[in-house]
Amino acid sequence: NRKRKRRKHQEEEEAAAEEEEESSGLDSSSDEELDDGGVEATDVFESKEPASSCQKKEARKESGPAPSKQPSQPAVFIHVDRLPEMQEARLRLPVLAEEQVIMEAVKENSFVVLCGETGSGKTTQVPQFLYEAGYASGIIGVTEPRRVAAVSMSHRVAKEMNLSTSLVSYQIRYEGNVTADTKIKFMTDGVLLKEIQKDFLLQRYSVIIIDEAHERSVYTDILIGLLSRIVPLRNKKGLPMKLIVMSATLRVEDFTENRKLFPVPPPVIKVEARQFPVSVHFNKRTPLEDYSGEVFHKTCKIHRMLPPGGILVFLTGQAEVHSVCRRLRRAFPFRRGREVAEAPTDTAEEMRRFKKVKLKKTVSLPRIDLDNYSALPVDEGDEDRQAGIDEEEGSDLELGDPPADDEEKADPSLPLYVLPLYSLLSPEQQAKVFRPPPPGTRLCVVATNVAETSLTIPGIKYVVDCGRVKKRFYDRVTGVSSFKVTWTSQASANQRAGRAGRTEPGHCYRLYSSAVFGDFSLFSEAEITRRPVEDLVLQMKDLNIDKVVNFPFPTPPSTEALVAAEQLLVSLGALEEVKEMERARLSCPISPLGRAMASFPVAPRYAKMLALGKQQDCLPYVIAVVAAMTVREIFEDLDRPAATEDESSTLAQRRARLTQMRRLWAGQGASLLLGDLMVLLGAVGACEFAGCTPKFCEENGLRYKAMLEIRRLRGQLTNAVNSVCPEVGVFVDSKMAPPTESQVVCLRQIVLAGLGDHLARRVQQEELLDPKWRNGYKTPLLDEPVYIHPSSALFKTLPPFVVYQEVLETTKMYMKGVSAVEPEWVPQILTRYCHFGSPLEVPSPWFCPSTGRIKCHCTSTFFRCGWQLPAVEMD
C-alpha cells in the first residue's frame, strides 16, 4: 500500500504545478507517514540545547570520513562525452582548478561551503563534477532562488555535458521537464521545500546544492536549516546524502559560525576568480527622481564615445527595463530580420499620433448589460495579436513612455543590440543574452539584479549601475507587504561592478556619488528579517516542527514576528489553541484545518478563505478572488502624474473609463457590499469571458501580465483544492456566471473569516472629537483614522464595519481592497477575536430542539480594542 502511495506521489509530483520563488505556497498535504525508519522528523528541532550531546556525537561522525560501504558512495566514475569546444571553454573556468579539492571535501564531509566570484563556474560545473564522480545514483538537486537561473542553467549544463534535457532538467512553479531518468535537476528553492513536505528525507536525491546562498532568500535559509537536520538523518539511516552550499561572497559566517545550524563548522572552499581590474566612476551628483533617464543618457554616451565592449545596465524592475530598452532602441535603431519589429522606426511624433488614434478607439464603450459581467462582448480578431506577442514589446501595457530625447539623435552607423533581462522573461528571450551579438553591433543588456550574480553575460566591458534595488517591504502595522525601490548594499554594488571585468579590464559607472555609496549598508540583510513569517510558520508546523523558535535559522526572524505569526495562525484556526504557557513558548501544534491551509500556495489569510470556500458553491469565486488578491496590482497605475500635456488628457480619459468599469464590475444592490473584492471578481470574470486578450486588458485598465498570472494561479489553486477535498470537484470555469445574492452574502462572510484581523469600524457621529475623523475608520492597531480609498467601490457607501486587504499610506492612510461586513457576523465568525459577556437577562435562555442545547444571548466585544458588538446567541 505504501509503495502504491509513493508511486502515486511521484506521479503527482511530476504533474504538479510547482512553486514560484516568490510564492509562499506548499503543495497538497499528505497523510503519508514519513518513511524515516522511526526517526521522528522533528525530533531534531525540538531540543532546546543547540548541540545536545547526541547531536554533537552525530556531528563528529558527520565530519569524519564516511564509511566506504555506503550505498551512494561514488564507486564508478562516469564518462561524459563533451563536445571539444565545450570542453575547451570549461577548462578556462577557475572552478576547474579546484575540482579535486572540492570533490575530496565532498567525499570527506556531509556539508561543504563553496565560495567563488560570479562567473567562476560554480553553478555550471559543480553538478558536473558530482555526476562524473558517480554521485548520480540519486538525483543531484540544485536550487536557485530565481526561476530564470533554474531554467537557463539546466539548458546550459545539458548542452555542456552533451546530454538530453530528460537527464539534465528543471522544475519551476508552473513548468518543468523532469523525467524518471533525470540525474541533475535545477529547481527553484520553493519547489524543493514543497518536496520536503512530501518526503522529509528527500530519498530520491543523493546531493543537494543550495546555490546563490548569499542572496539569503527566505526559502534558501529555511532549506539550509532543514537540510542541516535531514542530512544527518539520512546518514543515520545508511542513505548518505551531501549538502553543498554555494555563495558568491565570502560572508558565509551566518552559515559556518552558526553552531545551532552546523555543530561542527563545515569546510569552506574558496575559488579564486580571474578578475580583470574594473575602474569605478562615481557621479558627482545623485539623481533622486528620474534615475532611469540618467541611465539612458549614460548608456547613450558610453555607446557613442567608448571603444567596443558590451554594456550591462542595472535597473530595478521590469517596467523600467522595458522603458529604457525602448528608448535605447529608438535612439540607436537596429534592423535585421524580426528585430525590425523590436526597433520601431516611428519618430516620437508618430508614436504620439499612433497612441492618440488608439486611444480614441479605447474611449468608445462596448454595449454592456449592466448587471451581468459575463455578458461583455468577446473581442474578435485578437487571436493573431495574442499569438504575436513579443515579451519585449507587445505585452507591455504602460503608456506614457517618455519620447526619445532630441539630444540623443539616432546614429544608424552604430547599431546597439538591446536586450532586456529579468526574472519573468521567457526562457527563449533570456537565452539571447548568452549568444554573441550580431556582427557590427554592440550588445547592451538592460537587466534587473538577476544579472548581479545568478547569470554571467559574456563580453561585458561597461556596467551602468543605478544603485537601487526593488525590495519587498513589510509594514508591521498592516501586516501587508509592498515593493519599494531602495538603495542597494555595498556588496551588491561591488558585485554589479565586477560584471565588467570578466573578459578584460572594464568600467563601472555608478549613477550616485561616492558619499551615497559610503552610506549603503555593507551587505543586504537576510530577507527573513524583513517580512512577516506566518506562511513560513505554517509550513514548518505542517512539517511537524512545533517549536519554530528552535529551528536552526541561519538568521532567525525576530521573536516579535514569530509571536505575531503564531497569534494570527491560532486566530485563523490553523493552529490548535493551547494554554497560555504553551503559547508563550510558541509551540502550538497544527490543526487539521491548518494542514489543509498549508497545502494552498497562498498566504494563510487567503488559504482560510479557500478552506471555507465550498459552501454554497462559492469555491470558484473564492478561488478567483484569492488569485486576484495574491497577484498584485491588477489595475494599471493611472494615478501617476502625466509626463506631457498630451498624456495628461489620455490619462484622464483612461481614469474615467476605469472608474466606469469598476462601477460596472462592482454591480448593484447586494453585490456592491462585497465591495472591491466584487470589483476583482468582476474584472476576472469579464476578462476571462473576453478570452483574456491584451486588447481587452488595455481597454479596461487591467494589466495583461497580471491577468495571465491570475489565470495560472486559478488553475493551480483549483488543483490544490481538489487534491485536499476531491469530493468538491471544482473546476476553472472561464464563463463564470456572476454570484447570486445569497452567494455574495456567503462570500462576504468567507472574506471576513480570512481578513478578521483587518477589521475596521466607522467612527460614529458622537465620537467626532476631531474633524479629521470625519468619514474615518478605527482599526484595532492604529491610533490614527484610516479612510476608504477614493477608488474603492465603497467610497461613498461608508459601511459601519469593513475588512480591508491592506492599508496604504499616501496623503492619508487609505484602506484598499475593502469589503463591507455586517456587525452581527463578527462575534459569530470571529469567535476567537471576541470576548463574550455574561448571559443577558432578556430574553431569557431558551431550549433549541434541533440541537438539544440551551441557548442564551451574550454581549460581545472585539477583544483587540473593546468595540461593542451585537449580542450573540450562545450555547
Residues that bind ligand CDP (CB under 6 A): 93, 116, 118-125, 152, 156, 434, 456, 458
Please choose, out of 45-53, 120-128, 531-539, 585-593, the segment that lies near Mg ion by the rule CB under 5 A.
120-128
Q: Check residue 217 for interaction with Mg ion (CB under 5 A).
A: no
CA distance 46 to 50: 10
Q: Comparing C-alpha atoms, which of 709, 713, 703, 711 is closest to residue 635?
A: 703
CB-wise, 150 or 622, nearer to ligand CDP?
150
CB-wise, 434 or 867, nearer to ligand CDP?
434
For residue 656, give the 3-state DSSP assignment.
helix
* Per-position DSSP letters for 109-123, written without gaps between them: -SEEEEEE-TTSSHH
CB-wise, 121 or 176, nearer to ligand CDP?
121
Pull the grid cell for residue 209.
546544492
Residue 217 interacts, among Mg ion, ligand CDP, none and using kind-specific CB cut-offs from 5 to 8 Å, with: none
CB-wise, 109 or 125, nearer to ligand CDP?
125
CB-wise, 274 or 547, nearer to ligand CDP?
274
The footprint of Mg ion on this chain (CB under 5 A) covers a number of residues equal to 1
CA angle 367, 372, 378 (to 5 degrees): 50
Residues 6+ apart with CB under 8 A from 716: 17, 173, 174, 601
Residue 188 interacts, among Mg ion, ligand CDP, none and using kind-specific CB cut-offs from 5 to 8 Å, with: none
Pull the grid cell for residue 584.
508563550
Residue 458 interacts, among ligand CDP, Mg ion, none and using kind-specific CB cut-offs from 5 to 8 Å, with: ligand CDP
CA distance 193 to 406: 51
Least separation in angstroms between CB 506 and ligand CDP = 14
CA distance 468 to 24: 25
Least separation in angstroms between CB 216 and Mg ion = 15
Residue 121 interacts, among ligand CDP, Mg ion, none and using kind-specific CB cut-offs from 5 to 8 Å, with: ligand CDP
Least separation in angstroms between CB 94 and ligand CDP = 8
Q: Check residue 220 for interaction with Mg ion (CB under 5 A).
A: no
Least separation in angstroms between CB 773 and ligand CDP = 56
Single out the residue of 24, 42, 123, 235 in contact with Mg ion (rule: CB under 5 A): 123
The helix (run of H) or strand (run of E) holding residue 244 is: strand 242-247
CB-wise, 122 or 762, nearer to ligand CDP?
122
CB-wise, 59 or 433, nearer to ligand CDP?
433
Least separation in angstroms between CB 66 and ligand CDP = 26
Pull the grid cell for residue 624.
478567483
CB-wise, 502 or 762, nearer to ligand CDP?
502
Q: Check residue 154 for interaction with Mg ion (CB under 5 A).
A: no
In the complex, residue closest to Mg ion by CB: 123
Tell me which residues in 701-720 interact with Mg ion (CB under 5 A): none
Q: How far is CA 702 from CA 370, 633, 635, 735, in A?
A: 19, 9, 5, 18
Least separation in angstroms between CB 273 and ligand CDP = 8
Q: Check residue 318 for interaction with Mg ion (CB under 5 A).
A: no
Least separation in angstroms between CB 148 and ligand CDP = 11
Q: Check residue 630 for interaction with Mg ion (CB under 5 A).
A: no
Beta strand residue intervals within 139-262, DSSP E: 139-144, 168-171, 184-188, 205-210, 242-247
Residue 284: phi and psi, rounded to 5, are -70, -45
Q: Is the peptide bond before 415 cis (omega within 30 degrees of 0)?
A: no
Pull the grid cell for residue 610.
479557500
Question: Cell numbers 505569526 correspond to what residue?
Answer: 565
CB-wise, 99 or 824, nearer to ligand CDP?
99
Residue 120 interacts, among ligand CDP, Mg ion, none and using kind-specific CB cut-offs from 5 to 8 Å, with: ligand CDP
Q: Check residue 819 for interaction with Mg ion (CB under 5 A).
A: no
Q: Check residue 29 for interaction with Mg ion (CB under 5 A).
A: no
Please choose, out of 67-75, 115-123, 692-700, 782-790, the segment that lies near Mg ion by the rule CB under 5 A.
115-123
Q: Comparing C-alpha atoms, which of 170, 146, 204 is closest to residue 9?
A: 204
Least separation in angstroms between CB 144 and Mg ion = 8
Least separation in angstroms between CB 275 and ligand CDP = 12
Least separation in angstroms between CB 164 and ligand CDP = 17
- Kindly give the residue spans of alpha helices, DSSP state H, lying in 613-689: 619-630, 645-666, 676-689
CB-wise, 24 or 454, nearer to ligand CDP?
454
Partners of residue 867 on adjacent β-strands: 862
Least separation in angstroms between CB 390 and ligand CDP = 21
Q: Check residue 152 for interaction with Mg ion (CB under 5 A).
A: no
CA distance 98 to 271: 7
Residues 6+ apart with CB under 8 A from 488: 449, 467, 468, 469, 496, 520, 524
Least separation in angstroms between CB 761 and Mg ion = 52
Beta strands at 268-271 and 242-247: parallel, antiparallel or unpaired: unpaired
The helix (run of H) or strand (run of E) holding residue 361 is: helix 348-363
CB-wise, 495 or 599, nearer to ligand CDP?
495
Residue 434: phi and psi, rounded to 5, are -85, -15
CB-wise, 16 or 163, nearer to ligand CDP?
163
Residue 456 interacts, among Mg ion, ligand CDP, none and using kind-specific CB cut-offs from 5 to 8 Å, with: ligand CDP
CA distance 133 to 79: 9
Pull the grid cell for residue 553.
535559522
Least separation in angstroms between CB 122 and Mg ion = 5
* Per-position DSSP letters for 542-573, written without gaps between them: HTT---GGGS--SSPPPHHHHHHHHHHHHHTT
Residue ranges in contact with Mg ion by CB under 5 A: 123
